[in-house]
Amino acid sequence: MSPDSAGPTIDVVIPMHNGAATIERTLSAVLEQGVDGLRVIVVDDGSTDDSSDLVAAIDDPRVQLEHQERKGVSAARNRGAQLGTGDTLIFLDSDDVPCPGWATMLVPCPGLGLVRCGATSVFTDGRREPLNAMGGPFLAGLFAVDRSLFEEVGGYDERLAYSENTDLGFRLERALSEKGLAPYIVDGFFVDVRRDDGPREIRYGNSVIRDAAERVLDKHAGHITDNATARFSAVAGVQNIALGERRRARVHLRRAVQLAPRNWRYRARLVQSYLPQRQTIRSS
C-alpha cells in the first residue's frame, strides 16, 4: 500500500496496538467518508496479534501502514503525523467509529487552525452518552488540526501515557488564543467513541495516572482554569493516596479544595488522606 500520488490534504492518523477486533470496522468507516485527498496512516505500535496483517490486506492506496516497536500511543501518533503530508491532521483511535460526514464536518474549510466536534460515548454495557464539543473532553477523533499548528506546539507529549489529548488540547488552544483565535466548533455528534466501564486504575495503573496529572499541572500552571487545575490536582491526590504517598496527596488535595471549595468529593478525599491506611471514604 502506498500514499495517494495526487497529494492528500487530510491525514487521518490511527495508532494501533493489538487492534485486530476493531481496526477493520474503524478503517471501513474512515474510507467511506467520501472526502477527496484523504489518506489514512496506521501506526502499528508493537502489536502481537494479527492486526497488522488485517490492515495490510486492505487493497486501498489511501491506507499506509507503518510499524514501530512498542513506544506508546503518543509516540505512535507523532510518528504518523511525521509520515503525513496533508495540511490537516485528524487523530483517531483504532476502536472508534466515525459516522458519515465526520471528515467533512471536521474540515469545513482549510486554515481554521483547530476544529472540534461532538461524539457519542459507547460503553461496554451498551450505554450511550453524548460528548459535547463545547466544554467536553478533548479526545482523539473529536478534532482536526492544521499541521502547522500541531508542529508549532510540538505535537503529543510522548512522556504522557494518560491525559495526552487533554495536554495537547491545552497547548493548541493557548497557541490559538495568543493569535487572537479560537477553535471552530461543529455542532453535532460525529463519532462513536468506545469507553471502557472498568476503573481507569486497572487500565493504566496508579503511577501512570499520577505522573500524568502532575506533569500536566506543572506544564500548564497559570494557563488553565481553576476548575481544570482542581480536577487534575484531585486526580494526582487520589492516586498518591493509592500509592501510599499521603503527604504528597495532601498538597494536591488542599489545592483542589481551595480552588473548588464546594466540591465535597475533593474534601472527602482530603480527609481520607489523614485516615489510617485501612480506613477509606467511598466515593460515588
The pLDDT tens digits along the chain (284 residues) read 444 445 569 999 999 999 999 999 999 999 999 899 999 999 999 999 999 999 999 999 999 999 999 999 999 999 999 999 999 999 999 999 999 999 999 998 878 999 999 999 998 888 999 999 988 899 999 999 999 999 999 999 999 999 999 999 999 999 999 999 999 999 999 999 988 766 676 678 999 999 999 999 999 999 999 999 999 999 999 999 999 999 999 999 999 999 999 999 999 999 999 998 764 444 43
**Distance in angstroms (rounded) separating the CA atoms of residues 212 and 161:** 7
200-272: which CATH topology? 1.25.40
> Where in the chain do CATH 3.90.550.10 domains reside?
10-195
Sign of the CA dihedral 175, 181, 186, 187?
positive
Q: What is the pLDDT of residue 3?
A: 42
Q: What is the pLDDT of residue 8?
A: 63
Three-state secondary structure call for residue 10: strand
Q: What is the pLDDT of residue 7?
A: 52
Give which of 24, 131, 30 is closest to 90, Cα–Cα: 30
The strand ranges marked E within the chain are 10-16, 38-45, 63-68, 88-91, 97-98, 114-123, 128-131, 143-146, 184-195
Q: What is the pLDDT of residue 202?
A: 67
Question: 10-195 falls under which CATH superfamily?
Answer: Spore Coat Polysaccharide Biosynthesis Protein SpsA; Chain A (3.90.550.10)
> Where in the chain do CATH 1.25.40 domains reside?
200-272
